[in-house]
Amino acid sequence: MSTYHIQTYGCQMNYSDTERMESYLQALGYDKAPSFEEADLIMFNTCSIRQSAEDRVYGHMRTIEQMRRQHKKITVVITGCMVRKSSSRYSSERDKLFNTTRELDIALRTEELPKLAALARELDPESKIPEIKEESLEDYFKISPTHSSHQSKAQAFVAISNGCDKFCTYCIVPYSRGREKSRDIQEILKECTQLVENGCKEITLIGQTVNSYGLSQYDKEEKTFEFLGEKEPFIYLLEEIDKLHTKGLVRLSFTSSHPKDMSDQLIEAMANLKTIMPYLHLPVQAGDNRTLKRMNRTYTVEHYRKIIEKLRKAIPGISISTDIIVGFCGETDEEFENTYKFFDEMDFEHGYISQYSERTGTTAARFIKDDISEAVKQERWNKLNDNLLRQKSKKAHERFLGKTVQVLVESQEGKKCLGRSEHFKTVQFQSGRKLLGEIVPVKITKAMEWILEGELV
């Protein structure tokens, strides 16, 4: 029996894709290998968002080279956001990755996962990879995921769309994942229902910009969502999934959202749903209109501020996190100061701060100069990340001191339990009971920068 190992990098979307890749490989007759070193097929599910993410994969290629020197026969597949052209070592038109690493056998675009069997046969005509003629394995979104990203079946990621049409000037995603396509609504609902019937309590809907679900150019051309009339497809989807609370669904959340598609109707709908978590990740990227314009973010600071005000009014106590890029092309000291001040004003409870990394092929790489020095990027990152973000995160944690929160236990080692509260805060506590996958009340006794500590009530 041949075995596989998948090494996953990047965002939740990639982790969710890995779950589909596992199902597909198992259908081809592969078993999960106990470790990287013991696998016959090693797949790298890659991220391309920053150069540092790509470099991690190249680091692994040296290990592969050593394994091969020890005469181990392995097939090496690179998939995910680094791949542009699905191809094998012997294809006439190959992905550019074949020029950068000699260890590569197959390059595979994520949504072309069903091509893997044919490419493996092209690589080794003697291989015993079976021909699969199952409809469920021919379309990427129809491949049912293994849901193995979480330790318990109480939590699951459900992908609702793939690709992106927004073309922010710095971002590689529209090139790596292609045009935005929404997944069939009935299939999403079927997957969610099955998950909940099987004990799932928390569903996270994922996609590049989930709140544009059903609104992409592709969706419009396909007319898939016409039956909804004026109703926003994403709201309809949330309301339908919310009905699963009668079957045991407790929490529903989604990531990432784009401010442009954060409509008043959506905010109102969120306030009325039973299962929506009081938490939203809404990347702003910059707090200065000139920077936002160069980034092609298509909204202003004023518009973003209004969204946050409405959200806080509709869902009191909602916890909001964001993404920021520092050192984007042409970012002046004044622009950065505005971003800093905006972060402070918005009272973001958490955030991912990135230093701008130029990505070949993007509009920024082609037309705007990456003119901020590494030293300045680092300095701005330190200021925002090590100073303001820490303060904000601690302050947000302190509001829970002495309060009892509901924690879904995500991991348990001995007595140490770790989980998330309804506001998406990481909570640690001790218990001798087996609590993995349970939602339990915990009284918060200590508020630290990145974590809360408490006692089981």
Q: Which residues bind ligand SF4 (CB under 6 A)?
A: 164, 166-168, 171, 173-174, 208-209, 258
Tokens of 355: 């230093």
Q: How far is the CB of 136 from ligand F3S (least distance, A)?
A: 24
Largest CA distance in the chain: 65
Pick 64 or 364: Cβ nearer ligand SF4: 364
212 binds ligand SAH (CB under 6 A): no
Binders of ligand F3S in range 164-223 (CB under 6 A)? 172-173, 176-177
48 binds ligand F3S (CB under 6 A): yes
Q: Which of 4, 5, 6, 10 binds ligand F3S (CB under 6 A)?
A: 10
Grouping H, G, I as helix, E, B as strand and the rest as coil, residue 149 is: coil
Q: Which residues are paired to 106 by β-bridges?
A: 77, 88
Grouping H, G, I as helix, E, B as strand and the rest as coil, residue 430 is: strand
Tokens of 173: 């995603």
Pick 46 or 285: Cβ nearer ligand SAH: 285
Grouping H, G, I as helix, E, B as strand and the rest as coil, residue 193 is: helix
Binders of ligand F3S in range 70-109 (CB under 6 A)? 80-81
Question: What DSSP character marks residue 81?
Answer: T
- Which listed option, ligand SF4, ligand SAH, ligand F3S, none, makes contact with residue 75 (CB within 5 to 8 Å by class)? none
Q: Which of 283, 287, 437, 454 binds ligand SAH (CB under 6 A)?
A: 283
Pick 52 or 445: Cβ nearer ligand F3S: 52
User: Who's near 354: CB < 8 A, 6+ residues apart?
Assistant: 49, 50, 323, 324, 325, 326, 381
- Which listed option, ligand SF4, ligand SAH, ligand F3S, none, makes contact with residue 262 (CB within 5 to 8 Å by class)? none
Terminal-residue alpha carbon distance, the chain = 48
Q: Which of the stretches 125-133, 356-364, 426-434, 448-456 binds ligand SAH when contact is defined by CB under 6 A?
A: 356-364
Helix residue ranges, H only, 243-368: 264-272, 289-295, 301-314, 333-346, 363-367
Q: How far is the CB of 283 from ligand SAH (least distance, A)?
A: 3
Q: What Å distances lie between residue 446 and 28, 389, 400, 411, CA to CA?
A: 50, 19, 9, 20
Pick 172 or 250: Cβ nearer ligand SAH: 172
- Which listed option, ligand F3S, ligand SAH, ligand SF4, none, makes contact with residue 10 (CB within 5 to 8 Å by class)? ligand F3S
Q: Which of 5, 14, 253, 437 binds ligand F3S (CB under 6 A)?
A: 14
Which residue reads 């007595």 in tokens? 415
Q: How far is the CB of 173 from ligand F3S (least distance, A)?
A: 5
Cα distance between residue 319 and residue 417, in whole Å: 23
Helices (runs of H) and strands (runs of E) counted in the chain: 15, 19
Q: Which residues are paired to 79 by β-bridges?
A: 45, 108
49 binds ligand F3S (CB under 6 A): yes
Core vs surface per residue 164-201: b (16+ CB within 10 A) or e:
bbbebbbbbbbbbbbebbbbebeebbebbbebbeeebb
Is 174 within 8 Å of 49 (Cβ atoms)? no
Closest CA to 116 of 15, 12, 17, 13: 17
Q: Which of the stretches 43-51, 138-146, 185-193, 336-344 binds ligand F3S when contact is defined by CB under 6 A?
A: 43-51
Pick 161 or 338: Cβ nearer ligand F3S: 161
Pick 353 or 407: Cβ nearer ligand SF4: 353
Pick 52 or 265: Cβ nearer ligand SAH: 52
Q: How far is the CB of 214 from ligand SAH (least distance, A)?
A: 17
Could you list the residues that contact ligand SAH (CB under 6 A)? 49-50, 170-171, 208-209, 256, 258, 283, 285, 323, 325, 354, 356-357, 359
Could you list the residues that contact ligand F3S (CB under 6 A)? 10-11, 13-14, 47-49, 80-81, 172-173, 176-177
